[in-house]
Amino acid sequence: AQSVTQLGSHVSVSEGALVLLRCNYSSSVPPYLFWYVQYPNQGLQLLLKYTTGATLVKGINGFEAEFKKSETSFHLTKPSAHMSDAAEYFCAASDTGRRALTFGSGTRLQVQP
């Protein structure tokens, strides 16, 4: 069964610093990969997704993620953190042909002024 691992349940960065949130998946067959963000008292919002093609995926709010098959990783980055980026971030995967998502346990990003 597919599993998704997010390293670090809490990450704290300074405003303007690089954001790096780590995600690894377990499948031997590259799945579809997603990053979602949840702001307080809101639902999950899609940041970006990888299906096929270009391995560097750009999303909303300046975020991007790179699919690395050799490392089974899909880490999320943003060059410069803003206070408004403080939220919980979820990496998710779905096996091709199955639409149900398998989520990681989430990483709460804190941005310090």
Q: Which stretch binds other proteins (CB under 8 A): 12-20, 29-37, 57-65, 73-81?
A: 29-37
CB atoms within 10 A of CB 88: 16
Min. distance of Cβ 98 from other proteins in angstroms?
7
Choose, by CB under 8 A, the member of 53, 70, 99, 113 that binds other proteins: 99
Quote the strand ranges of the chain, DSSP E.
Answer: 4-5, 10-14, 19-21, 24-25, 32-38, 44-50, 56-58, 64-68, 73-78, 87-94, 102-103, 107-112
Choose, by CB under 8 A, the member of 45, 61, 84, 112 that binds other proteins: 45
| Interface contacts to other proteins, rule CB under 8 A | 4, 32, 34, 36, 41-46, 49, 51, 90, 92, 94, 96-106
